[in-house]
Each structure stands twice: as structure tokens, then as C-alpha cells.
Chains A and B, each alone.
Chain A
């Protein structure tokens, strides 16, 4: 009861926060991508990855569908689409 509570690093990955998405999800169109990495920088969930042009993707297990990657993309190469869409 008394004393420090300890947690292991990066164990929050157990929370699959992707289930929080209600309506829309980001779709990486991979047409005009210039690999500026702005989507990686802005993602609050740290779930966007990629290293070269047109390779970026996000981990839908954690994406909460906030849409900031689509808002920041200078080439409009990320679209927010309905959850059902492939």
C-alpha cells in the first residue's frame, strides 16, 4: 500500500486505443507524398511510421482518428475516410 508504484517502460501498448475511433480514420493515399514527416511529428499517438516517399502508414490498433495528420499534410495526401472504407 505504501511505497512507490513502479511500471515497466512502454507498457501502455496494452491499451489498444484504436477502438476509440468512432466515425473516421486516416487513409494514406500514397500519391503525392514528399516524405516531409510532418504526419509523424504531429501524431499524438506516435503511431505513424514510414521512411521514404509514399511509404507512410499508421497503426490502426492505436489511431484514435483525430485527423491532425490529414490537417498538417502539405500535399493533402492523407484523407479522413469512413471507418468501413478499405
Chain B
């Protein structure tokens, strides 16, 4: 059942103003359409979209525990196959970054290994936002969170971000991609592509969180975009283990542009040494994925292109 204006993820959910996850969740379910069944890990998305006895979802949606949405989704997919209904139904297993990279990884890895035809989505807001901004496996380097606070002996999260897309690629998935709430049409394009393929798929969507990242609510879109434009969150696509597309950038911005709006990086902005360390992360991504577009004087400028073999 859709809302009057056609959206399958409706108004009235209790996310904070400017929630990036609410933007991405609606974009995803609007593309997959009404023949979709969603299994959801515990997380912000589960809590704000289904405040019992209400639900913001227009499609069948199930939540069981923090770690087992992938197992639940596997069961749904097998049942649909048995009933002969899998052809016209999409199964989505979705979670936040904690539910994907830490707590739910075991069940998710099993689901990928068994090769179920399920689209897994990770809404990556880079910490456990629902319980009060604790550090997760996908929290970036030197981020201030409530479990990695700034002090005399601490500069924030001491570990780099877990390379979740690569873990997915190593499972031999048919399609792995990263997307960002700063590029809504890109999210829709990637979801469309994912559901057209058979087999396990993984899409990781970068979703700014005004509360946890401590930025103004109207900056959600801009910050999502800046993470990509600085090279800190490269938008890439892998098909059958091969890197097939990278969003190239004509002008790569310095990381300060991205960091300066966010309270969680306030300590970095006052130290040129720390900015250099974050810039090194971006430079690594730029080098590794070849994010810089070589502008030919005459040629038209494509948005994405094939990487050099």
C-alpha cells in the first residue's frame, strides 16, 4: 500500500529533521516497488520507521533481532522459491553500519555464501546512532564518538574504516556498489541495476546523520556530496568481482571542506597534523580508484568511465 503521493516509505516516521537514512530508505523502496519484502536489522531505521503500533512502510517488513535480518531474509527467499513467487518479488535485507559490519556480519556472510537472490543494503552513518553515537566498525579514522571521545590520550577512533565493500566482493557477489545520499539519482540507478541481476548483491549507502555527526540539518545533502567530492567516500561499482565503474571527479576538494561542518571532526580542524592524516586517507582512495578525471581538451566529459585495465 503506497502513500497518496506514491511513496512506499511514508510521512510521519520519527527520524530527526534532515535524516540521511530516511532519504535513502525511501529512494530504495520506491525503486524496488510494491512487490518487495524487507527484513530489517535493529537500528535507527527500524526504531524510527516502526513506532509500535504504527508503521511508515508500504511493503511487508519484518524485524526480528539485531544480528539476524540476513537469516530471516534467507528464509523468506527460500519460501518464495518454494511457492514459485520469487520471480516477481524482491527481497531486501537492510541494516545500519553496526548491523552490517559488526553485529550482523556473521549471518550476512552466511547469506552471501549460500548465494541467495537478495539485495543487502547498508545505510552507513558511521556509528551506532540509535543508542547514542558509539563507535562501529565503519566509523572513520579519528572520529569523535561517545566511546572514542577526545582527550589528552585520545584523538578519536584509532582504527580505519572497515573495507566492507571489499569484504562483500571477496564473497563473490554479482554486484557490489557504494552510493551516497548526496547523489539521490545515483542511488536509484544502482538499485535498479542491482535488482535486474540474479544472486546476492550489496549496496552501501553513505547517509549523513545530523545528530551523530553534529551538523545542521539542512547540510545533509551537501555533506553527503562533499564526502564524495573530497575522495573520502568513493562511489564505485563491482560486478562479479571486477571494478567496473568509478565516479570520476573533475575537481577534487581538500578534506577540510568536508570536515569543517561536522562537530565530530572539530578537534581535527584545529590541528594541521591531523588534517594531513585524513587527507592521506582521501589521497589513498584517489590513487587506488583513479578518481581524478583526466580532462581531454576536446572530448566531452563523461560522468563515469571504465577504469584502465
Complex alpha-carbon distance, A49 and B5, angstroms: 7
- Report yes or no: A44 in contact with B15, Cβ–Cβ below 8 A: yes
Main secondary structure of the interface of B (DSSP, over half): loop
Among the 9-residue stretches B6-14, B86-94, B195-203, the one with 4 or more Cβ atoms under 8 Å from chain A is B6-14
Q: What residue of chain B has the Cβ atom nearest to residue A58's Cβ?
A: B11
Query: Which residues of the other chain, A, contact B132 by a CB distance below 8 angstroms?
Result: none
Say if the beta carbon of B263 comes within 8 Å of chain A.
no
Query: Which residues of the other chain, A, contact B26 by a CB distance below 8 angstroms?
Result: 44, 46
- Report yes or no: B5 in contact with A46, Cβ–Cβ below 8 A: yes
- Report yes or no: B23 in contact with A42, Cβ–Cβ below 8 A: yes
Complex alpha-carbon distance, A6 and B243, angstroms: 42
Contact (A12, B52) CB under 8 Å given A46-B3, A66-B217, A68-B18: no
The residue from B14, B218, B221 contacting A17, defined by CB atoms under 8 A apart:
B14
B208 to chain A, nearest CB (A): 10
- Report yes or no: A46 in contact with B218, Cβ–Cβ below 8 A: no
Q: What residue of chain A has the Cβ atom nearest to residue B7's Cβ?
A: A46
- Report yes or no: A66 in contact with B218, Cβ–Cβ below 8 A: yes
Among the 9-residue stretches B53-61, B109-117, B279-287, the one with 4 or more Cβ atoms under 8 Å from chain A is B53-61
- Most A C-beta atoms less than 10 A away, residue of B9, B12, B188: B12
Say if the beta carbon of B27 comes within 8 Å of chain A.
yes
Query: Which residues of the other chain, A, contact B19 by a CB distance below 8 angstroms?
Result: 44, 66
Say if the beta carbon of A13 comes within 8 Å of chain B.
yes
Say if the beta carbon of B303 comes within 8 Å of chain A.
no
- Report yes or no: B55 in contact with A7, Cβ–Cβ below 8 A: yes
Say if the beta carbon of B49 comes within 8 Å of chain A.
yes
- Report yes or no: B58 in contact with A10, Cβ–Cβ below 8 A: yes
Within 8 A of A (CB), among B194-247: 210, 216-222
- Report yes or no: B18 in contact with A67, Cβ–Cβ below 8 A: yes
- Report yes or no: A17 in contact with B18, Cβ–Cβ below 8 A: no
- Report yes or no: B52 in contact with A68, Cβ–Cβ below 8 A: no
Complex alpha-carbon distance, A14 and B53, angstroms: 10
- Report yes or no: B218 in contact with A14, Cβ–Cβ below 8 A: no
> Interface on B for A, CB 8 Å cutoff?
1-3, 5, 7, 9-20, 22-23, 26-27, 49-59, 184-185, 188, 210, 216-222
Q: What 5 A-B pairs have minimum CB-CB distances, sorted nearest first?
A: A67-B218, A66-B18, A12-B12, A64-B17, A44-B22
> Interface on A for B, CB 8 Å cutoff?
5, 7-17, 20-21, 38, 41-47, 49, 59, 61-62, 64-68, 70-72, 80
A sample of 10 cross-chain residue pairs with beta-carbon separation below 8 angstroms, ordered by A number, consists of A9-B1, A9-B55, A12-B14, A14-B12, A38-B184, A64-B16, A64-B217, A68-B221, A70-B218, A71-B218
